[in-house]
Chain A
Amino acid sequence: MAEEEVVDPKKYLEESCKPKCVKPLLEYQACVKRIQGDDSGHKHCTGQYFDYWSCIDKCVSSFDFPFSVHFVIFLYVMILR
């Protein structure tokens, strides 16, 4: 059996989109720091979290060409090289 290193294309694209979405990520991290001391349970960072993930999602969906077997094989070959 050949060694199969199966890479999930979506996760790979999300990782490669992270540099494009640094600003919302920093905003989210700043929010996390801000609410760290809070114990009331009312403070949360959903807004910043949504901003970050919608940036990543936009980037992923604009980048992916019709994801199909061919794309997975392409990635597979790319990783092995």
Chain B
Amino acid sequence: MVGGGVIQQILRRKLHSQSLATPVLSWFASKKVNEDAGSSGVRALALLGAGVTGLFSFSTVASADEAEHGLACPDYPWPHDGILSSYDHASIRRGHQVYQQVCASCHSMSLISYRDLVGVAYTEEEAKAMAAEIEVVDGPNDEGEMFTRPGKLSDRLPQPYANESAARFANGGAYPPDLSLITKARHNGQNYVFALLTGYRDPPAGISIREGLHYNPYFPGGAIAMPKMLNDEAVEYEDGVPATEAQMGKDVVSFLSWAAEPEMEERKLMGFKWIFLLSLALLQAAYYRRLKWSVLKSRKLVLDVVN
């Protein structure tokens, strides 16, 4: 309160005086005279000044973060977006084909088994046949030796590299991440992965990317180790759908979304059912509470004053 009054005095003096020197002098004089009372006002002014300069410096730093965070990806209208919308299972099947033919040479999906695909993208026979194409190390046998056998439904999808070090060594130091949970592991995962896969463009003027890396505006920092993998007609779909870059991107993201959230359809059904039922229960509970409390809420208290 007192500090505010001092500031008002200072301002009035600044407005009324003619030269630059007098307001400064009078300000110092007033500062000395009202030292105890005025110090809080001066402190407030100093804090305000510090805050403003801080804000200015912060804004110049923020503008350098653009490429660091990557270009924000737009929200695409996924068919499985609605409150009661299921996955497009034909798309999941095509997406698995894209994964197998384009991505599996570098990216593992070690949390998905062949049996998970049954009833989602393939029939049991198809999945068994696919599993049988791979060789799996099993054992030890009765002689204590490890042996290889054809895959079964219970086996996980095969890994391209034995471990992370091998993966890094084969990819110039960069580790192609496991894709089992990638759409949940990245902010706005589904849209991000689609934008990334279909977003390889020429870098802006003034940006040069070193040998071995590629420019992608959506990737944080802009320089990604993965080259553009989705090109028109890279895959020939079993169902005859034309395999454009956007089509393959959409299908592979549907597949990855399913892989990360296989329970989505059941979850939506359960959620819809229980939210509906609990809303009814809420109405019932509210009515019952008000019914029981009405006795107390409608009572009248009489203060009997002794005369």
Contact = CB atoms under 8 A, between A and B. Distances in A.
A64 B79 CA distance: 12
A26 B75 CA distance: 25
B232 A8 contact: yes
B244 A6 contact: yes
B63 A47 contact: yes
B205 interface: yes
Interface string A29-54: 00110011010010111111110011
B205 A61 contact: no
Contacts of B204: 28, 44-46, 48-49
Contacts of B198: 10
A67 B251 CA distance: 10
Contact of B206 (A6, A43, A60, A68): A43
Contacts of B207: 44, 46
A interface, size bucket: 35 or more
Label chain B's interface by main secondary structure.
loop
A58 interface: yes
Contact of A6 (B74, B232, B250): B232
Interface in B199-226: 201, 204-208, 217, 222
B70 to A, nearest CB: 9
A68 B54 CA distance: 50
Contacts of A66: 77-79
A4 interface: yes
A54 B72 contact: yes
Nearest to B81: A66
